[in-house]
Amino acid sequence: MPLQTITLHINGENRPTTVRASDTLLYALRGRLGLTGSKPGCLNGDCGACTVNVDGWPMKSCLMLAVEAVGKKVTTIEGLHDSPIQQAFVKEFAFQCGYCTPGFIMNCHSLLEQHPDADDQTIKEWLESNICRCTSYIEIEKAVKAVMRGE
Amino acid sequence: MAGKEDFQIVLPFDFDYYLPKNLKEAVELYRYLDQQGKQPMFFSGGTELITLGRIDLAYTEAVIDIKEIAECQMIQFSDHQLLIGSAVTLTQLEEANPFPLLTSVSSEVADHTARGKITLGGNICAQIFYREAVLPFLLADSELIIAGPEGLKTIQINEIFQEQLRLKKGELLVQTSTDKRFIEAPFYAVKRRQQWDTGYPLITLAALKMGQELRVAISGLCPFPFRSPEVETYLNRWGQAAETRVDNALSALPKPILEDVEGSADYRLFVLRHLLVDALSALERAGA
């Protein structure tokens, strides 16, 4: 199978990218585009460390082929710049080692976009998609709620 | 080129990727690629190919992605039927909520983000034994619209879903069609896990009551999801005590009962017994 050049719309820019059809979006981001903020973890759709935002919704980039992202708007952690959820993570100290943090932030960012008034059940349901080995869950929940309160 | 760390990220085989715009094109592509020896695979969410392919448990040389096909993307009430396309994601179904029992069952599949990729058709046709999304359709005697080399056909799900969806080579699931009466019927659905709220599933039970008739479908007990007429016959002997009906129903279960790291066969039967008693209690007076 020859390599093919596709154009991915990432963080507001069109990025021509050469991939195999079987390359995951995670691989294209990290290995082809140098966007290493999306972290490889389980590579099986379980841990959420590779979460990005596709057309406004969270997506585990290890579960998506790069070719499937053609025509969609992809936002990675590099595309957020001092956003409210990033500020809240710092303020609430919602991380320790930081490996899961980009994935958590992208999921929280999508949640705040889609359900800015989410109730506790919705927050729990969305955030169950990510795993934090350092167990910063309470602080992460505080960070989401701080943004919802407009702090 | 892949760096050292990235060998784990890439799939260990190559395939061609096709994105047909309509069913005819998809079916013809399959036939052509099959003749070429490409072992083509219809692809919707693709999570199973990507995760199992990485560990050499799935393989194809040609992926036919059905996401762009309009019929596979629709959620629509038509007369008294609810049509749901096979490429609709479980998150889309939860957000639109056209079939509350389906929402209740499918919202326990994997996790929220993954459900944004997992599709209805992909879950029903998957290799994993849970496949919970099929349960509501088994209960509702839904019809499946299937495309294949001979065109479109409609078939009752309980005829074609026997342990797995018995599609012929080159066929793909296009839509489910469900009568509105079943969508409005009282239901009970619960998923039990061995640990916490987020552990791997043990058993999922979905029950629906049509008039005085209780229907149940179960996932996670056997290596396949099922609905059993024998089990329902025992459960519907309303003159008997609930425990008697449940014990008789347990004697009529299909085999084998799963025995794995998530739970022994005895433990699964113990959990199922309680789930059935709970379902009878919850739905006893419903629809009366």
Span B11-20, pLDDT tens digits: 899 999 999 9
Nearest to B112 among A20, A67, A128 (CB): A128
Q: How many domains does chain B have?
A: 3
Output the pLDDT for position B10.
Answer: 78
**Residue B95 phi, psi dihedral angles, 5° rounding:** -70, -40
Do B155 and B105 share a domain, yes or no? Answer: yes
Q: Is residue B4 part of a domain?
A: no
3-state secondary structure chain B: CCCCHHHHCCCCCCCEEECCCCHHHHHHHHHHHHHCCCCCEEECCCHHHHHHHHCCCCCCCEEEECCCCHHHHCEEEECCEEEEECCCEHHHHHHHCCCHHHHHHHCCCCCHHHHCCCEHHHHHCCCCCCCHHHHHHHHCCCEEEEEECCEEEEEEHHHHEECEECCCCCCEEEEEEEEHHHHCCCEEEEEEECCCCCCCEEEEEEEEEECCEEEEEEECCCCCCECCHHHHHHHCCCCCCHHHHHHHHHCCCCCCCCCECCECHHHHHHHHHHHHHHHHHHHCCCCC
Domain locations along chain A = 4-77, 84-148
Do B82 and B55 share a domain, yes or no? Answer: no
B219 conformational bin, left if phi > 0, alpha if psi -120 to 50, beta if neither: beta
Q: Is residue B3 part of a domain?
A: no
Q: Range with the lowest mean pLDDT among A45-59, B21-35, B196-210?
A: B196-210
Q: Indicate if the alpha-carbon torsion angle B51, B31, B90, B183 is positive or negative.
A: negative
State the smallest CA–CA distance between residue A30 and chain B in angstroms.
9
Q: What is the pLDDT of residues B76-104, one digit of tens each?
A: 998 899 999 999 999 999 999 999 999 99
Q: Is residue B165 part of a domain?
A: yes
User: How far is residue B128's CA from residue A150's CA, in Å, rounded to a whole number?
Assistant: 43
Output the pLDDT for position B9.
Answer: 66
Output the pLDDT for position B1.
Answer: 43
Do B109 and B152 share a domain, yes or no? Answer: yes
Q: Range with the lowest mean pLDDT among A125-139, B186-200, B227-241?
A: B186-200
Enumerate the residues of chain B whose CB falls inside 8 A of the CB of residue A107.
113
Nearest to B114 among A21, A45, A65 (CB): A45
Nearest Cα neighbor of B287 from B206, B234, B214 is B214
Q: Do B53 and A128 touch (CB under 8 A)?
A: no
Do B40 and B124 share a domain, yes or no? Answer: no
Q: Is residue B1 part of a domain?
A: no
Q: Do A126 and B112 touch (CB under 8 A)?
A: yes
Q: Does A47 touch chain B (CB under 8 A)?
A: no
Q: Do B9 and A67 touch (CB under 8 A)?
A: no
Do B109 and B167 share a domain, yes or no? Answer: yes
Do B93 and B154 share a domain, yes or no? Answer: yes
Do B100 and B38 share a domain, yes or no? Answer: no
**pLDDT at residue B137 above 90?**
yes
Q: Is residue B74 part of a domain?
A: yes
User: Among residues 162-181 of chain B, which lie with CB inside 8 Å of chain A?
Assistant: none
Q: Is residue B7 part of a domain?
A: no
What mean pLDDT do residues B178-204 have?
87
Domain with B25 in it: what CATH number? 3.30.43.10
Do B126 and B201 share a domain, yes or no? Answer: no
Q: What is the pLDDT of residues B151-175, one digit of tens each?
A: 999 999 999 999 999 999 999 999 9
User: Among residues 70-129 of chain A, which lie with CB inside 8 Å of chain B?
Assistant: 107, 125-126, 128-129
Q: Is residue B45 part of a domain?
A: yes
Q: Do A20 and B46 touch (CB under 8 A)?
A: no
Do B34 and B105 share a domain, yes or no? Answer: no
**pLDDT at residue A140 above 80?**
yes
Do B155 and B204 share a domain, yes or no? Answer: no
State the smallest CA–CA distance between residue B60 and chain A in angstroms.
10
Output the pLDDT for position B6.
Answer: 52
Longest dimension (CA), chain A: 51
What mean pLDDT do residues B186-203 have?
83
Instruction: Show which of B162, B182, B202 is a domain's final residue.
Output: B182
Do B82 and B103 share a domain, yes or no? Answer: yes
Nearest Cα neighbor of B218 from B81, B210, B208, A148 is B208
CATH code of the domain made up of A4-77: 3.10.20.30
Output the pLDDT for position A80.
Answer: 98
**Cis peptide leading into residue B12 (ω within 30°):** no
User: Which residue segment(s) compose the domain that B214 sits in?
Assistant: 186-283
Strands (E), chain A: 4-10, 13-19, 51-54, 57-60, 73-75
Do B33 and B112 share a domain, yes or no? Answer: no
User: Among residues 119-138 of chain A, which lie with CB inside 8 Å of chain B?
Assistant: 125-126, 128-130
Instruction: Please give the CATH architecture assigned to the domain spanning A84-148.
Output: Orthogonal Bundle (1.10)
Q: What is the pLDDT of residues A96-117, one digit of tens each?
A: 999 999 999 999 999 999 999 9
Average pLDDT, chain B: 93
State the smallest CA–CA distance between residue A84 and chain B in angstroms.
21
Q: What is the pLDDT of residues A20-32, one digit of tens each?
A: 999 999 999 999 9
**pLDDT at residue B251 above 90?**
yes
**pLDDT at residue B7 above 60?**
no
The DSSP output letter for A79 is: G
Distance between the two ends of chain B, CA-based, in angstroms? 66
Q: Do A68 and B16 touch (CB under 8 A)?
A: no
Enumerate the residues of chain B whose CB falls inside 8 A of the CB of residue A126.
112-113
CA distances from B83 to B69, B74, B131, B159, B179 (A): 14, 7, 19, 19, 9
Enumerate the residues of chain A whose CB falls inside 8 A of the CB of residue B91.
57
State the DSSP H helix or E strand holding residue A137, giving kind and residue range, or none if neither: helix A137-148
What mean pLDDT do residues A133-144 have?
93
Q: Do A58 and B17 touch (CB under 8 A)?
A: no
Q: Is residue B2 part of a domain?
A: no
What mean pLDDT do residues B257-279 have?
94
Nearest to A40 among B8, B107, B110 (CB): B8
Domain with B74 in it: what CATH number? 3.30.465.10
Output the pLDDT for position B198.
Answer: 65
Output the pLDDT for position B2.
Answer: 46
Q: Do B6 and A68 touch (CB under 8 A)?
A: no
